[in-house]
Structures are given as C-alpha cells and as structure tokens.
C-alpha cells in the first residue's frame, strides 16, 4: 500500500504514522508514506499557495497551479493508479466499511486543504472522492489523512498479530457491532472483579459472553447500528438475556 499525501505540513503525517502498530507496519514495509508539499511547486519568490477568495469573505483559498504541479509530480513518481481523496467536512463520513474498501487499494492520494479550502476548479478536475471525519470543522485535512492512514495501515496483512486481530474490532464482523469489554490482571481489584466466565477456561461460554456484551453495548450506546430484525435466533436470545440481566441488576 502506498500513501501519497499532498499537504502543507508533511512532517505532521510522518510523525503520526511512525508510532505503535502503524509505525511497525511501516518498518515492515507493509505500506509507504510520501509527503508532498504544494509550496515546493509554487512559483515566484514568495512561493504563494493561496490567495483571497473572489466575491470577498474571510480566509484564503488554495491556488490551482501549485496543486496541479504537485499532483503531476505525485502521479509521475509511481505509475500505480490511485484515487485522489480530498479530506473535507463536505465529504461522506468515514466508516469502517469505507476503511476496509480503501485498505484493498494498492495506493491512494490524500489531499489536505488548509485555509478556507481549495479552488473549486481544481477539486472538480482532480478529486475522485471526498471524505469527512465527522460533522465538525477542523483547521485542515491533515488529521483526516492521519486517521485514514492509521485505520487502513493496521488492516494491511501482517500489521496486527493474532492477539490484536482486526476481526475482534468494533464495527467488524457481519453486524458491525461494538467491541466487548476487556480485562487483565489482577482478577480482583477494589475497582471491581473480572467476570467469572472470563476465568472459567470455557471457550464457548467466553465467546457467548463476549458476543452478548457486544450486542448489549451496541444496543445501549449506538442503537442506530443495531437492526434487531436482522439478528439470528442465538443473538436475539443473548440480547434478551443480557437485557434481563441489566433489569435485575437495577431491581435486585
Ligand atoms: N477538514 C476540515 N474539517 C474536516 C473534517 N471534518 N473531516 C475531514 N477533513 C476536514
């Protein structure tokens, strides 16, 4: 997987992709990251990358020419086809399903805007897809690019060991449920004891408990993710039993 990031702050991306699981994946050459600064492709003494918007208003708009020259250099650096993805609050919100789709690509070009945005003519000619992190406004696309790189890189074959396996993650699996709670040593603690079932060694019971916790958490915290009509009989039973358990905890 090759990431090319067009950004006024390439060092920001290099830092965030150098740590933890993602940093290890990069060391193992499971992906490569290439930062491209449009300022390096700007003309003139001032290497201007932005100017005032036509029609007035606040802020500055990133200029077509440096971005076009920069993108040409990115394309010329490697023949592998790659979509240009623009990070912006006007894009579709990123989901784990989208992350999986992106993770299957050989390459992508992430375009980060700053200031008020990018000249619409460049966007219309060059961008294949617009992705947003969520319904809030950031000061630039770099955090969005860092999020995509992190989420996509950890799904590359060999990035996670068995214990970290992505199959257990929230939003993975057929129903896209939230992850279950996790516990480690000590089994007994003033903050609470580890549920007995996790210490029972009974793998089927542990799997059922985890599934039940995932169902319950999704139902409690993100009910819009859970379409109960699509649950199979076993899941329906686990969820019903889980809810009964919550009720009896409340009214012992
Ligand atoms: N740039 C500015 N706001 C953004 C957002 N919400 N998501 C992605 N990129 C952005």
The reply to whether 129 falls in a domain is yes
Residue 86 has pLDDT above 70, yes or no: yes
Residues 87-95 have a mean pLDDT of 97
Q: Looking at the structure, tell me whether residues 222 and 143 fall in a common domain.
A: no
The reply to whether 162 falls in a domain is no
The domain in which residue 184 lies consists of: 168-250
Residues 197-222 have a mean pLDDT of 97
Q: According to the model, what pLDDT value does residue 173 have?
A: 83
Q: Looking at the structure, tell me whether residues 73 and 116 fall in a common domain.
A: yes
Q: According to the model, what pLDDT value does residue 158 have?
A: 93
Q: What is the pLDDT of residues 26-76, one digit of tens each?
A: 999 999 999 999 999 999 999 999 999 999 999 999 999 999 999 999 999
Question: 115 labelled as ligand-binding?
Answer: no
Q: Looking at the structure, tell me whether residues 173 and 148 fall in a common domain.
A: no
Mean pLDDT is lowest, of 19-23, 76-80, 143-147, for 19-23
Residue 115 has pLDDT above 90, yes or no: no
Q: What is the pLDDT of residues 180-195, one digit of tens each?
A: 999 999 999 999 999 9
* Mutational pocket test of ligand 1: of 8, 87, 95, 142, the residue with most ligand atoms within 8 Å of the beta carbon: 87
Q: Looking at the structure, tell me whether residues 53 and 119 fall in a common domain.
A: yes
Q: Pick the last residue of a domain from 153, 188, 219.
A: 153
Q: Looking at the structure, tell me whether residues 138 and 25 fall in a common domain.
A: yes
Cα 37 to ligand 1 centroid, rounded to whole Å: 19
Q: According to the model, what pLDDT value does residue 163 have?
A: 58
CATH at residue 19: 3.40.1280.10
Task: Label residue 172 by pLDDT band (50, 70, 90).
Answer: confident
User: Of the residues 78, 116, 130, 150, which is catalytic?
Assistant: 116
Residues 168-173 have a mean pLDDT of 84
Residue 164 has pLDDT above 70, yes or no: no
Q: Pick the last residue of a domain from 153, 180, 204.
A: 153
How does the average pLDDT of the chain come out, rounded? 95
| Rg value, the chain, Cα | 23
Q: According to the model, what pLDDT value does residue 150 have?
A: 96
Q: Looking at the structure, tell me whether residues 8 and 114 fall in a common domain.
A: yes
Q: Looking at the structure, tell me whether residues 121 and 43 fall in a common domain.
A: yes
Residue 154 is a catalytic residue: yes
CATH at residue 230: 1.10.1270.20
Q: Looking at the structure, tell me whether residues 179 and 235 fall in a common domain.
A: yes
Residues 136-157 have a mean pLDDT of 96
Ligand 1 pocket residues where CB is under 6 Å = 87-89, 132-134, 136-138, 140-141, 144
- Which residue has a Cα nearest atom 6 of ligand 1? 89
Cα 90 to ligand 1 centroid, rounded to whole Å: 8
Residue 250 has pLDDT above 90, yes or no: no
User: Of the residues 65, 150, 169, 179, which is catalytic?
Assistant: 169
Q: What is the pLDDT of residues 94-105, one digit of tens each?
A: 999 999 999 999
Residue 157 is a catalytic residue: no
Q: Looking at the structure, tell me whether residues 74 and 100 fall in a common domain.
A: yes
Q: Pick the last residue of a domain from 153, 185, 214.
A: 153
Number of domains in the chain: 2
Residues 2-15 have a mean pLDDT of 95
Predicted structure pTM score: 0.91
Q: Looking at the structure, tell me whether residues 138 and 180 fall in a common domain.
A: no
Q: Looking at the structure, tell me whether residues 146 and 172 fall in a common domain.
A: no
């Amino acid at each position: 997987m090759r990431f090319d990031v067009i950004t006024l702050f390439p060092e920001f991306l290099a830092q965030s992709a150098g740590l933890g699981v993602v940093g290890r994946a990069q060391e193992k050459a499971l992906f490569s990251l290439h930062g491209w600064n449009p300022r390096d492709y700007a003309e003139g003494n001032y290497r201007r990358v932005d100017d005032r918007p036509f029609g007035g208003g606040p802020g500055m708009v990133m200029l077509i020419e440096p971005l076009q020259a920069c993108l040409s250099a990115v394309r010329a650096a490697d023949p592998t086809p790659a979509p240009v993805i623009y990070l912006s609050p006007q894009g579709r919100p990123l989901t784990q399903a989208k992350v999986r789709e992106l993770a299957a690509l050989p390459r992508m070009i992430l375009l980060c805007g700053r200031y008020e945005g990018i000249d619409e003519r460049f966007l219309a000619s060059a961008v294949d897809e617009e992705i947003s992190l969520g319904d809030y406004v950031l000061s630039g696309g770099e955090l969005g690019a860092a999020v995509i790189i992190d989420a996509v890189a950890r799904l590359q074959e060999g990035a996670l060991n068995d214990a970290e396996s992505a199959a257990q993650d929230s939003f993975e699996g057929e129903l896209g449920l939230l992850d279950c709670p996790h516990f480690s040593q000590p089994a007994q603690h003033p903050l609470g004891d580890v549920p007995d079932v996790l210490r029972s060694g009974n793998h089927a019971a542990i799997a059922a408990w985890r599934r039940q916790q995932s169902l319950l958490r999704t139902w409690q915290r993100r009910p819009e993710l859970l379409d109960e009509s699509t649950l199979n009989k076993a899941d329906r039973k686990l969820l019903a039993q889980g809810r009964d358990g919550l009720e009896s905890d409340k009214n012992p």
